[in-house]
Structure 1
Amino acid sequence: MPNNGYKDEKEAFVSGMTGSTVAHINLLSSVALASIFLLYCAQTRTRIFSLTGLSVSWILLVLPLLLSMTIFANSPAILFLLISAPGGLLLLIQRKESGTPLPSNLKSPTAAVPSSQAHPTAPRMELLPSLTTYRAHMLLITCLAILAVDFPVFPRSLVKCETFGVSLMDIGVGSFVFSGGIASAIPLIKNPSHLAAPLFPKMLRAMRKSLPIILLGLVRVLLVKGTEYPEHVSEYGVHWNFFITLALVPVMEVLLHPAMIRASVTAIGVAVAISQQLLLSKFGLSDYVLNAPRVDLISANKEGIISLPGYFAIHLLGLTTGLLLLPPSPSYFRRIQRSLRTHSLNDRELAERYAVRQNDKTVTELSGYSVLWWALMGLCSLLKLDGGNGVSRRMVNISYIFWICAYNVSFILAYLLLDMLFFPSSLNKSKKKTDPPSLPPTSIPAPLLDAVNKNGLVVFLVANVATGLINLTIPTMYTSDFWAMVILCGYSYAICAMAWGLRGVRLRL
């Protein structure tokens, strides 16, 4: 257990940071795309099928992420080239012929809805391999960063910013909420009439689903306070933590279901984002967060409470992405809305019309949203609509909201384009009879990433517990870079091995 002196030093070690630049964060994160590019090149140009094993997958898919935020953090372009260059050379080899799996054969838990809960005429919906890859990589980056930040090998420019600025760790919490918004689109697509269902029973169901996560948040508070574990109070407050935020936003979504029948979900999300900024700028909540003393329960947790509407906006804009990405056609939900408004819902016609995925249209819409969110972020900065100080994860201002949306949509789009480029037949309705049966099918998404995604919350919880135990065992901030990398490699491999061992089951919390 750390003594008070070390605890104070450790808190200072992760406090007062101003971050990096958006370009640097994007380049650093692009290492994840390079690793997928290399894997796909190897899978389509060689006959080495052991690429899907745990150890090789960890080297190809996880180690690059760790290197990008530690040894190569200040030169991510070099790491990007070191990883992607071998893939470029492999492209010179003639592509091998091999069957590829159908989306319906790619079992992904977040898309799996029991038949008793699905609308009998709902469209065929499979979770895209690119979405699994995105969610798993986002989770792995977060799990790596929460421990790496405690070592000097992790640059201070990547640590969560104190008040304003952008950093790698500022992306994690927003991306978690955005990803949750994508997953929340599933019941709306499976059963469109869910939007018009009575509000109170839906609220109760949403609260029951969120209760375990709230309990996890309360347990975390007790453990942190009981062990005197170093904590950054200005992140969420004295008692609030990310689990509480994560549990509340789906419940808040249900309250807006009646509005979603009559208005665009995108418009609702943007309206919530604007309202959040008005509360911060025009109603003094920004000054309250920065300067108000912590004298009662509310002021003690002012960051968590005041940032909640901003995270809710991110959740809604993630929902928008899910509604265009998950159905066979990106226009499916818009047609559902019109049917609900006119009380002429005809799911069967819609399901039949969009039985085949229209990935070209999905790419077009994702590209449009990516441009829109980046443009709005730039506009907010240029016109100082965010208060004039830039992005703030602490308050979740409008610039942070648009940044998180732009970042996540851009990377989902990039993963989808890679899938379409290397495995076009895996995204078609049916497998060609001419595919040779002698070669084993190429596995997308990568089995390790699918395993991480399958039990994502469990992986995140185990990573948090392991991070706490390591910090209580060794003085991480005084550890040399060599031993820090040894510990981080062992930690990341153990996390992946745990997910790998659970790949045949799905644990529900």
Structure 2
Amino acid sequence: MDDDYKSAKEAFVSDLTGSSIIYVNLVSSAAVASLLLHAAVRSRFNIKPNLFIEWLLLVVPLLLSMTVFALQPTRLYSSLLFAAVVIQTTLPSRPEAPLLSDSNTNVQDSPQSHSRQRSDGPAPNSGSRHVTIRPLPALTIYRAHMMLMTMLAILAVDFPVFPRKLAKCETFGVSLMDIGVGSFVFSQGVVSAIPILKDPQRLAMPVVPKILSVSKKVLPLVVLGIMRLISVKGTDYPEHESEYGRHWNFFFTMAAVPILEVLCHKAMTHASISFVGFSIALVHQLALSLTPLQEYTLNAGRIGIISSNKEGLVSLLGYLAMHLIGLATGTVLLPASPSEFRRLKRSLFQKSKEENPDANSNKPRFRQNDKIAIELFSYAALWWISLGIVSVLNVGGGVSRRLANLPYVLWVCAYNTSFILCYLISDVMFYSRIPSNQSSEISGGKRVSTPSILLDAINRNGLVLFLAANILTGLVNLSVRTMYASDAFAMVILLSYSFAICGLAWIAKTRRLWLP
């Protein structure tokens, strides 16, 4: 790559200061609005599974929100909502039918009972001491949208059509790409709740065997991190060292955090998981504020392996805090009742068996989406209020993804909890009324756990698709001088790129391409 162009490209994504939290929320809101439009279309038209329609309704609005309409997010959001309302109110609805969930779950009693879905589990006297979980459409949609926005942004950021205020900030500030990195870790935490829900006693098991087991699971991420490092250095690809460091990259962070989680298991048996996560974020911020750690991270020279990768190493505690708070969110979202895991944990670690011989006897028969929504709202309000307080007090000097400081942790947690709540509400209020043959059909006789086959497919093979997106991004940048491309040319490339990624997901919609 030409040295002058490489320097110009690095400058193109350097020294940026972002925008505002409200603006990022407005841009992101296209995801929820597109989902409502999709629900309206599926409830009024007898549409068979179709890649193009799913891509047009669910993916193109996300791409438009960060490119053509990025400077006018309310116009896009309002247009999508207006179209959804017109379709919903002017066209006759199709006959309602009970929704079918994933093949491993029960049929709901009626669309109106969607907020209290049956939760199968062992008989009350079976002696089983675990939390019953089931596939959840809201979680699938949330993870798929998070992955989609990330894959779209990593290529779009290389074009001028992607506003600079949406690109990653140099040190302090907020942007769409800044929230995307943290959302990845938070999402990882949510699904990391599954093994603990299935076996809460895992928290008290010996640490070393768990570390070995987790290390095997994250090995693919380590391999991807090494592959990225080699490819970037080997092709002289433009890189931004102040993001994570000279050799560190986000794959290494994603691999390290689950291992660090295991070290917190003992504390999680005595205190709430969200409290443990917040405590780590607070200790991390105190270290940044009361010691030379922040000055070292931002200004020290890169001498030796540690200082060369200081950003990636120092930010680990902040990302661990996000992961744990995401895990706590998973223990609320995934069970049939938001308090089910807390009751079982108390029975296992804080009470004798004589005091509570059968924790499963209190298991709810139906999924209590109303109570789950209320608790998610409470957590979202807590994180937003906390973020407001630390902002007024200027704690940490502002939001910093580079440091993963306390304001950044609180912002990531507030943002993701709020959007999960929105997806849960939309699932209960809108998708519950779509006929079953419209919401859960998939080729090959298998049923999916979300009303969108495309979103289910993206969630199913997220890691493979993310790898493919990185490869395609690299190929485009090696073939095209993206920072000099016109907006029209950029949109042709970005639309083709997004359709190719969705096409790969669609081809593999009935199977996992890689299960690490």
TM-score by length of 2: 0.90
Alignment of 1:353-372 (within 5 A): 353-372=363-382
Shift of 1:98: 2.8
100 and 10 in structure 1: CA distance in 2 versus 1, 3 angstrom threshold = farther
Query: Could you say if the C-alpha distance between residues 78 and 425 of structure 1 is closer, same or farther in structure 2, counting changes exceeding 3 Å?
Result: closer
Q: Distance in 2 between matches of 1:219 and 1:319?
A: 28
Give the SS at the match of 2:301.
coil
1:477 and 2:483 are equivalent in the alignment: yes
What letter is aligned with 1:374?
Answer: W
- Of 85, 96, 99, the residue aligned with 2:97 is 99
Residues 459-494 of structure 1 show CA distances to partners (whole Å, capped at 9, x for unaligned) of 111100110011011111111111100000000000
State the Cα deviation string for residues 328-368 of structure 1 (Å, max 9, x = none): 01101111221122242979642662231011110000000
Instruction: Determine if contact 1:130/1:445 at 8 Å carries over to the other structure.
Output: no
Give the corresponding residue for 2:515: 508
**One-letter identity of the residue aligned with 2:73:** P
Q: CA RMSD in A?
A: 1.9
Unpaired runs of 5+ residues, structure 2, are 106-121, 441-449
Measure, in 2, the Cα distance between the counterparts of 1:58 and 1:357.
Answer: 31
Give the Cα–Cα distance (whole angstroms) in 2 for the partners of residues 27 and 418 of structure 1.
17
Residues 100 and 423 of structure 1 are in contact (CA less than 8 Å); yes or no, is this contact kept in structure 2? Answer: no
| CA distance in structure 2 between the partners assigned to 1:122 and 1:184 by the alignment | 15
Over residues 248-307 of structure 1, what are the superposed CA-to-partner deviations in whole Å (9 max), with x where a residue is unaligned? 110111111111111111110110010110111111211111110111111100100000
Superposition map of 1:312-327 within 5 A:
312-327=320-335
Contact 1:124/1:351 (<8 A) preserved: no
- Once the two structures are superposed, residues 413-470 of structure 1 have per-residue CA deviations (whole angstroms, 9 ceiling, x without a partner) of 00110111123479xxxxxxxx9xxx72423330000000001111111100110011
Task: Provide the rounded CA distance (Å) in 1 between the counterparts of 2:73 and 2:178.
Answer: 18
- State the SS of the aligned residue for 2:24: helix
Task: Map 1:479-498; keep pairs closer than 5 Å.
Answer: 479-498=485-504
In the alignment, is the contact (CA less than 8 A) between 1:370 and 1:410 conserved in 2? yes
Counterpart residue identity of residue 36, structure 2 = F
Q: In structure 1, the residue corresponding to 2:155 is in which secondary structure?
A: helix
Deviations 1:207-237, CA, capped at 9 Å, x for gaps = 1111221121011111100100001110000
SS in 1 for 2:315: helix
Residue aligning to 1:377: 387
**CA distance in 1: counterparts of 2:292 and 2:72, whole angstroms:** 40
Asked if structure 2 preserves the Cα contact closer than 8 Å seen for 1:122 and 1:351, the reply is no
1:275 paired residue among 271, 277, 283: 283
Distance 1:77 1:238, change over 3 A: same
1:81 paired residue number: 78
Larger deviation, residues 198-207 vs 59-68: 198-207
- 1:264 maps to what in 2? 272
Question: Shift in Å at residue 90 of structure 1?
Answer: 2.1
The letter of the residue matching 2:27 is L
Shift of 1:398: 0.4
Q: Calculate the TM-score normalised by the size of structure 1.
A: 0.92
Q: Partner of 1:165 in structure 2?
A: 173
Q: Find the residue that maps to 2:437 and give its secondary structure.
A: coil
Task: List gaps (5 residues or longer) in structure 1.
Answer: 108-114, 427-434
The residue identity in structure 2 corresponding to 1:103 is S
**Structure 2 residue 232 is the aligned partner of structure 1 residue 235:** no
Aligned residue in 2 for 1:14: 13
Aligned to 1:290, which of 275, 295, 298?
298
Partners of 1:179 and 1:318 within 8 A in 2: yes
- The C-alpha deviation readout for 1:123-173, integer Å capped at 9, x for no partner, is 431131011001000000000000000001100111100000000000111
Query: After superposition, what is the alpha-carbon deviation per residue over 1:382-414, rounded to whole angstroms, capped at 9, x for unaligned?
Result: 01222xx31000001100000000000000000
Give the secondary-structure state (helix, strand or coil) at the position aligned to 1:222: helix
Distance of 1:440 and 1:299 partners within structure 2:
57
Preserved contact between residue 129 and residue 419 of structure 1 (Cα < 8 Å): yes
Q: Is the 8 A contact 1:270 1:313 kept in 2?
A: yes
- The answer to whether the 8 A contact 1:311-1:396 is kept is yes
How far apart in 1 are the matches of 2:458 and 2:192? Answer: 19
Correspondences of 1:58-73 after superposition (within 5 Å): 58-73=55-70
